[in-house]
Structure 1
Amino acid sequence: MATWSCVKGCGACCYLEASERPDLEEYLTPEELEEYLSMVGEEGWCVNFDRTSRECRIYPNRPRFCRVEPETFQDMYDIAPEELNDFAIECCQEHITDIYGADSPEMQHFNQKVKF
């Protein structure tokens, strides 16, 4: 069974272009939406994402909407905790494909990490 895990050096989820996420108002509070939009920087990438090292500069203090945690996904997306693993894998694969490509080294690394 595949088990979701964040893959260091990926950062596909740090691409925050709001025009590509038209339903933000559906799952973010007004305060979170304001914070989210303030984080969108050059070319749609999060201002806290170091594109050279591909690491988050504020990882321990990142906002709730950046965390893959059962209670967060239950509250924001109505994803039951027992469904989070499969949902997170699917989301990562979708984002990695959109950002880097389906056959990219990032996708290969992710699939190896989650044993997909």
Structure 2
Amino acid sequence: MKKWQCMQGCGACCYLELSDRCEVPTILNAEEFALYQSLIGVDGWCIHFEPLSRRCRIYENRPRFCRVTPEVFEDLYGVTPEELDEFAIQCCCEHISDRYGERSFELLRYEYLVKHSVDPPPEDSPPFD
């Protein structure tokens, strides 16, 4: 079974433009939605995203909606813990395709990572070490 992982140097999920994320207003509460909106930079990317390294500057303190955990995904998307890996992998593939292209090196690299991964690091550990 494939296990979801965050891929170092990707950052596709850090593109927050609401026109690309039409579900956001419906899944976040008012306080989280206000926070989400405050994070959108003029270019559509999160203001804490470092484009050169494709890393999050606040990874350890990122908002709840930026975390891939069974609890968060069940609350926001209604995804059961058993469905989490498949759902999160699909989300990542969609975001990577949207940002970098359906035939991009990033997507090929992510698909390889997921296919060949045995044990992903814990969700709380930064993927960018």
* Residue correspondences, number: 116
Which residue does 1:4 correspond to in 2?
Answer: 4
TM-score computed with the length of structure 2 as normaliser: 0.86
Structure 2 CA distance for aligned equivalents of residues 68 and 4 of structure 1: 9
Per-residue Cα deviation, 1:67-108 (whole angstroms, up to 9, x for no partner): 000000001111001000000010000110110011111111
Which residue does 1:70 correspond to in 2?
Answer: 70
- Provide the identity percentage: 53
Which residue does 1:49 correspond to in 2?
Answer: 49
Q: How far apart are 1:4 and its partner, in Å?
A: 1.0
Greater per-residue helix proportion:
1
SS in 1 for 2:32: helix
Structure 2 CA distance for aligned equivalents of residues 42 and 112 of structure 1: 33
Which residue does 2:104 correspond to in 1?
Answer: 104
Per-residue Cα deviation, 1:32-72 (whole angstroms, up to 9, x for no partner): 00000000003110000000110000000000000000000
Per-residue Cα deviation, 1:1-31 (whole angstroms, up to 9, x for no partner): 2211000100000000012222222110100
Moved over 2 A (4+): none
TM-score computed with the length of structure 1 as normaliser: 0.96
Q: Which runs of 5+ in 1 are unaligned?
A: none
